[in-house]
Structures are given as C-alpha cells and as structure tokens.
Amino acid sequence: MENFILYEEIGRGSKTVVYKGRRKGTINFVAILCTDKCKRPEITNWVRLTHEIKHKNIVTFHEWYETSNHLWLVVELCTGGSLEMVIAQDENLPEDVVREFGIDLITGLHHLHQLGILFCDISPGKILLEGPGTLKFNNFCLAKVEGENLEEFFALVAAEEGGGDSGENVLKKNMKSRVKGSLIYAAPEIVRGTDFSTTSDLWSLGCLLYEMFSGKPPFFSESYSELVEKIFYEDPLPPITSGHLSQQDLESQMRELIYTDSDLVITPIIDNPKIMKQPPIKFDQKILHLPVHSVDKLVFLKDQDWNDFLQQVCSQIDSAEKSTGAARAKLNLLCYLCVVASHREVATRLLHSPLVGKLRAKIARVIGLLASHTTELLENTPVIEAITLLTELIRENFRNSKLKQCLLPTLGELIYLVATQEEKKKNPSECWAVPLAAYTVLMRCLREGEERVVNHMAAKIIENVCTTFSAQAQGFITGEIGPVLWYLFRHSTVDSLRITAISALCRITRHSPTAFQNVIEKVGLNSVINSLASAICKVQQYMLTLFTAMLSCGIHLQRLIQEKDFVSTVIRLLDSPSTSIRAKAFLVLLYILIHNHEMLLLSCQARLVMYIERDSRKTTPGKEQQSGNEYLSKCLGLLIRHIVQELPRVLGVILTALANVSGRKHPSTVQAKQLKTCLPLMPIVLHLVTSQVFRPQVVTEEFLFSYGTVLVSNWLIPVLCLWRSEPSLLLEWRLFSLRLLSETTCLLVNQKVGDDKKEANVDSDSNLLALIRDVLLPQYEHILSEPDPVPAYALKLLVAMTEHNPAFTRLVEESKLIPLIFEVILEHQENILGNTMQSVIALLNNLVACKDLNMKLLYEQGLVHHVCNLFTETATLCLDVDNKNNNETAAALLFSLLDILYGMLTYTSSIVRLALQAQKSGSGGDTQAAEDLLLLSKPLTDLISLLIPLLPNEDPEIFEVSSKCLSILVQLYGGENPDSLSPENAESFAHLLTSKEDPKEQKLLLRILRRMVSPHGNWGQGGWLWWQPPRVTTILFFFFFF
C-alpha cells in the first residue's frame, strides 16, 4: 500500500471503509477499500471473479494487498455515487433516463452471463455511476460461477485462514447466512431455496428497473413473512411515477415536513446552565456512614445488597438527631444521591423504591434528578403526590423567589416524565392526571414581573411537555398562552430565554395553531413578520415553523400569501448558513406559491431560482447525505416539482388571455384587466428555461408548442406588422423581435432532420417561408434603414433562409431587395468588419452562388465595383502583418469575398465559353453579351496584384480559391494588368513553386504564369499588352529555371 496516497473517505460499511486514492507518481485516481480480515472470503471471491474482466459497465479491479489488520482492494473510482443515492435523491427517474440506465445494466449483466458469472445480489447499492453517467456493477462479494457452491468456497477460504480443517462443519453453517443477499430483489425460486441462475438475475434486474421508475421496489415490507408472501403471491401494480403529485398527496408530504427533530429537541429543566448555573455537587466519603458504591456497582447490586443499601440510606434520613453533625451528614447523603441519580438505571431503580416517599418531603432536587434520568415509570409510583406537594409549596410561598427556583425544575421534570410515559402507552391513565393547580401555578410564573430565571424555568417546562402528544400537553393550551410566551420572546434581553419562549410557542402551535393566531391578532402581522429578521438562527427556524404551521391549516392564509414583504423576507433567509432554515424557507414559499400563483414572479425576481440551483448542487447524490441535507432535499424537491407543474398553467393563462383579444382592436375592460394580470408573468418562463435545474424538466414538447404559439402568433407577428405603421413602437421591442426571429430561424434551418420527420419539416419550412414573405419582407425597406444593429439581424435572417431554401433566393429577387442590399453596403462600407457588413457579404455570397438568380440585376447595381472595393480593403487588412486585431474576422470575410469573386468569374467564364463555342460552330450566336460582360468585369483584373500575395497563405482553402480565381482571370484577360508581375509578385511565384510539393498545384501555378506572360487572353478582341524586356526576362528566368 506504500504505492498509494489516501485522500478523503467516500463511503463506509459495517466492516469496510472506502477511500479516494491515487497511485504515487501518477494522476490516476482510484477507489481503495479497507476491509477487516473477517471479510476475507467475500474479498477473495470478488478478486477471483473480476481480476481479468475489462468492461465499460463493470468496475475494474486493479490489485489487492494484505496488511497486519486489514485487506486492501484497489478498484476503479466512480465519482457519481451509487444508484441507491440517486433514487433516494430524485425519488424516481424519468423514463428516458431509466431506459439509458437499463441499457447499461443489461449490457453489463449480459457480459457477466457470457463469462458464466452470476451476480446473485443485484441491488441499487451495488451499482455505481461513473462521472458521465455510465452505470457499473460493483461489489462481487456474493457473485459466483454458475453451478458452483458459494458456501463451500467461503468455508474453504475461512478454513485456510484458520489454519486447518477443524470446525469445518461449524464454518459451513456460519457461511450459509453470509451468502444471502437482499430478499427485496430476490426471485421466488431463490426464496424457496433453489440455486441462483441467469433468470433469477433477470428477476432482480426487473425489480431494480421498477424501483428506478417508481421510486420504490415492487415488493417491500418490514416483516419477513409478509415480504415473502408478497414475492410469492402478489402481482405488483404497474410502476407509477411520482412526477405529478395530486394536491392531497403534496399537502400530506408538506405537513410531514413542518416539524423536524431539530424543532423538538429536549434539554433538561433541572440543572440547565442556560437557565441557572448550579454549583457542582460534592460529598465527603468520610462522613457518609454507608458504603460509597460507584454508579456501575449500584447498577449490578443483587436484590439483597440493594435492600441493605436502601435501608442504610433510609435510616440516616429518618434519624431524629438534631445536632449540627447529623444535619451535615444528611446533607452529605443527599449530595451523594444527587450524583448517583444522574445515571438512568440507578435513577429508575431509586424512583421505584420506598426512598421516594421519604425524599419528597425533605428535598426536591434529588427527586427532580431521578425524574430527569429515569427511563420507566410504574403506575404505583407516587409521582402525582409529589407533583401535588410541589404545587402546594410553590402556591403557598409564591412570593419566595428562591423557593420557586428550587422547586420548579423538579415539578417540571415530574410533569414531563408523566407526559412521556403516557405518550408511550398511548392510553391516558387516571392515576397520572396532573392537578389543574399545577398548570395555574406555571402560568403565573410566566407573567410579567417575575424574575427572569422563574420565567425561563416555566417556559422550559412548557417547551418540554408540549413536545409530547399527551393530556399533560393539552393542559397548557389556553387563550393566553400564546401572547404570554410572545411577550417573553419580545421583551427578554437574554437570548437563551427568547429561544426557549419561541420554541415553547412553536410546540404549543403544533397542538393548537390558534395559539399563534392569538399572537398575530394581538400584536399585528407586521410585527410578527419583522421577527423573521432576527439574528438568532434558532429564532428564525422556529418562526418559519410557526408560519408553515399557520399556512398549512389555512389561518391568516389570504393575508400571508398576499404580503410581498413576507415573501421577500422569507427569500432573504435562503442566504442562511443553516440547512434547516433554508429548507423551511423553501417549504413556506411552496405553501405561498400553491395558493398565490402570482407570487412566483416576485420570487423569481428575488433570485429564487438562483437559490434553488445552489442548494440543488449541495444536495446532489454521490456524497453521504446528513439528516439536514436530506431534509433540505425533500423540501427543495417538492418546491421544484410544484414550479415545474405550474409553468404549463402560466402559459395556458397567457394563451387564453391573448386568444380572447385576438383580432380585436379594443379589448373590453375585463379582457384588458386579464392581459395586465397575465402578460407580466412571462419573465417566469425566462427564469426557468435559463436554469440548469428547471430546463430539462420544463422544456417539453407541450411547452415548446405553447411558447411558440405565444411567441409567434401573439407577439412576434404583430410587432413585425406594426414596424412601418407604428414608428413610435420601442426600438428595443423591434430589435428583440427581429433578433429572436433571426436566431430562431438559424437554429431551425441548421437542424438535422431524420427521415421520419422530413414531411413535418417541409410543412415547417413552408410556414416559415410564408411568415417571412407575407409579414416581414414588405417591411424590409424600413428595416434596413434603421440604425445598427437592426440591419445586421435582418440580413442575418436572409442569409439563413437563402442558405437553406433556394426558393427564397428568387423571393429576394422578386421582392426587389437587391438594390436595398447595395444601399446597405454604401452606408456601412466604412466599417467593413462590422456585423452588418459581415451579414451583407454572406448574403451576396449566397445570391451569387444561386444558379437560378438573374445575375444581370447584381451587375446592374454595381456588383463588380463593390466587390473590388470590399476585396481590396479586406485583403489589405489580412496582408498587414502589423495589424493583429480582428484577424479571424477579416480572414472569414476574405474567404466569403473569394467565394463571391470565384462565383462571378465562373459565371463570366461560362458566358464567354458559350459565345466562343457558338462562334466556332458557325451557329451565329450573339457574342455582344459576352463582350459587354467582359468589359464590365475588367476592373476585377486589378485584384490580381492582391490575389498573388494571398497564394502563400497558411490556410489551404484560401490558396485553393485564390489560385482558381487567378487562373480564370488570366484565362480571360491574360496579362492585362501591368502590375500583376511586379518583382514582389514574381518572388511570390518563385517561392511557391519551390515550396509546393503537389504536382497539380505546381502545374496550376505554371499555367497561370504562362498566361500572364502571354500578350492576350482567351478572348480575341483587344487585350494586347506589350511587356518591358526586363520583366519578361525575369519571369522567363523563373519559369525555365523552376
């Protein structure tokens, strides 16, 4: 193991700890299992079955080691946790996820069966997830080769470990229980005792798939016999996903989450340092006059010795001696009894002894400690007499504060003891009826004017007793209890007393929500809401619990769900470091959102979605969940589920409101009010679809249809239609509408469509084409004249459509948009790298590439002139080695311009070729059109001096297109341009001819050179060019030398 470094613990079993580890000298992380040696048979079985298996759905075994105390197993690290954690986190998985996971499981299990291995114990805990989500079989402790006896193998390994064959029969008997897996996933024949087979593995796999989809296994019971009966005779119902809870089920689950264990923590009343610090109890062994038994010895004293011990104690307490020494001895004895009474078993034994009757009239503290630590109360124990006596003593000496401080803790512990015992037995006992005077005394101790310690003790008694469901708790439910506790909470300056008071109110509200209702009605809702801003975490937790209880029973419901400050305050509590507070805040918000849908918008605006995403990451599976995280996960899961179910309703309300006013210029007052209520809810959709938590759950086919209806029919088309007629329409609206349509169109036209959806795609294309043709194109004259970036998005839309649908190119021509396109070039040519110029050049590229377009229209609008100017400026930017800004943009623009140039030259060449062929054949074809086109395109020869420097470009595509353009140009015009073979260009050719290794490329370059030095092009009229001898000499030198 010295070859590995151990990191944090990532898992733990009864006798196994799993660590994340790394092999020294590498970055290969692994999982390292540290197991007690008593697990040697299981680990040996795992190793022998998997040491040669390499499969994507099986955890890979690397190596294993043995140290003096442990066995160490090094296997593949799976960072996604177990499937059991995923199911516990999500409760159920979507059908498509179950299908993907099922493929992994079947693939892995099929591979094992092909190797003759039976897994034998398939369960969610033995399936691990790799980072990308691949499932892998893990833990082969109970797997085996088909047909073998696993018990014999375990016994053999254990016997070898033991060093002999002695006790082999005993070993085999012990092994029988060790080879049994989980009964929940076992096939019926396995339960009957038949051996495992491939069919039993498939049964277990089916149970696992069922649990993934429904969140629970098909057969489950806490009772062994009942579980066996279900496996044998019960047909499980078809799995039902819990994705859509009924309102009743949702509220039932929410009520179960209102009170948690942290809300009902019990702390002692007596000797509680937060109420009153008591001096430590000490006694002197020398003057005790009886054996000083320790707590441990007292627990195990035999009956006779115990009776002797009690007799000695009672005799000292009953002693009539009045001397100072005797009194000191009695006090010392009571101190000893206080010490030993802090042990549960000793306290229980003393409480049921005759000693109680002698103590109750003499000292309260011992009785209080006995009551606090005892675990059981017999009906014949005179506890009610003690409660009555203490009550009378307090009532008769009520102004004696010191006496109350001594007696109240004992009284409280006795009442709480009776309450807990009655709750356990679930049947009220008349012998444990607490006198009404006790409740009266305690209520008096809560009132204003009492000392802080007395208030605290009384509040602590109510807090503890009201944790139970008993008749004793019901005795505190009065009309004044809520306001009295609230007064203590608000006016006390001691935090511990404030926490006890609000905790007691929280527990009383659990029995009777009217207690908190009385508080709100007396002090006002705003005052109560302001208490949520307390800096004490416990106070915030109890206040949230109180509000949740109120909302669950409908008290003040309408006031709370309409209070925006209340919602905002609750959302601010989501910043709390306490998981319990955040969980309860989510639960309160869920109650509000259920009853007031409009608050969802306010919550989203207050960053609720951000808080949900943050806590969703904290509760993801893969780590052992603590109870706080588990509670947070449950509350958060219910809130997410409700919001997901709420979104279709929001869209439905908006669609209904828009449908009601469709086609009407002046909606009615009711319709206008409905629109004002519904339309502001649209930002909710934005918040949810941009969330990583909500997007996978809300973006469904139904959602896309509804949202598309809202977007296109009810908003996008009207805005675009009003572009010209309503110039006052906000530019921001118009820009957003056009941008949305442009980017959506780009996505749609670039989407790959399968054969089964081609027909639907054709319909979609025709609808989109009709929308743009009928609504948008008539507005383009005004759209293209708008300030940037409106023209850029308008042109981007045309680019997407002309790329996707050739018919749209003819539509552009018929709509007389070509002159407008060139006007845009004139207006934006100063910013050639801007978005508008990029879009217009891309559009020109699509138009030139279209074979059905009438190219004369482009030439008539000055296509040659504009291309020359754009190409010159772009090529200059690309060739400028000092200018490194916007290199990528300029290069992309240059490539588009090269495509345009190549398309123009190809078109010209084809026209010239047809004219030459007609002239040679004597058919008398019209050559004038070709001559005019050649003359019109002649300025393109000025680009030769720019094309040649582009040939050495590192991008092979630029070389390819540049060389093709240059080849056609010299074919058409020969050496028309006197600067085409300048010394710099000649050197470029020389360098290219030496650097290019492809013979085809070399031939193309030589062919270009040959035509450039020839005195005419392919076209006979004109084009003669006389060259200066030095230049001709230079070119010929390169030509012949290379």
| Selection from 551, 570, 460 nearest residue 507 by Cα | 460
Q: CA–CA separation, 127 vs 83, rounded Å?
A: 6
Q: CA–CA separation, 691 vs 211, rounded Å?
A: 28
Residues comprising the chain, all counted: 1042
The set of catalytic residues is 121
The full DSSP string for 731-780 is: HHHHHHHHHHHHHHHHHHHT----GGGHHHHHHHHHHHHHHIIIIIGGGH
Q: CB atoms < 10 A from the CB of 705, how many?
A: 11
323 to each of 320, 335, 414, 461, 723, how far by Cα in Å?
Answer: 9, 19, 33, 38, 109
* 904 contacts 864 by C-beta, under 8 angstroms: yes
| Non-local CB neighbours of 923 within 8 Å, separated by 6+ positions | none
Do β-strands 61-66 and 29-36 pair in parallel, antiparallel, or remain unpaired?
Answer: unpaired
Q: Three-state secondary structure along 206-227?
A: HHHHHHHHHCCCCCCCCCHHHH
Strand order in the sheet with 16-23: 4-12, 16-23, 29-36, 70-76, 61-66
CA 369 to chain centre: 49
3-state secondary structure of 53: coil
What does DSSP assign to residue 1028? P
* 782 contacts 724 by C-beta, under 8 angstroms: yes
The number of helices, as runs of H, and strands, as runs of E, in the chain is 52, 9
Cα atoms in the Cβ-side hemisphere of radius 13 Å centred on 308: 9
Q: CA–CA separation, 68 vs 876, rounded Å?
A: 77
What backbone phi and psi angles, to 5 degrees, belong to 75?
Answer: -135, 175
3-state secondary structure of 861: coil
CA 767 to chain centre: 37
Q: Three-state secondary structure along 687-723?
A: HHHCCCCCHHHHCCHHHHHHHHHHHHHHHHHHHHHHH
867 to each of 81, 157, 844, how far by Cα in Å?
Answer: 61, 86, 10
* 181 contacts 120 by C-beta, under 8 angstroms: yes
286-289, Cβ contacts within 8 angstroms, sequence gap of 24 or more: 287/325, 287/328, 287/329, 287/332, 288/329, 288/332, 288/333, 288/336, 289/316, 289/329, 289/333
What backbone phi and psi angles, to 5 degrees, belong to 62?
Answer: -105, -60
* 819 contacts 874 by C-beta, under 8 angstroms: no
Q: CB atoms < 10 A from the CB of 891, how many?
A: 15
Q: Which two tokens stand for residue 238?
A: 């078809």
* 75 contacts 30 by C-beta, under 8 angstroms: yes
Radius of gyration of the chain (CA): 44
970 to each of 911, 941, 947, 1011, 1014, how far by Cα in Å?
Answer: 16, 8, 12, 6, 9
In this structure, which amino acid lies at residue 828? Answer: H
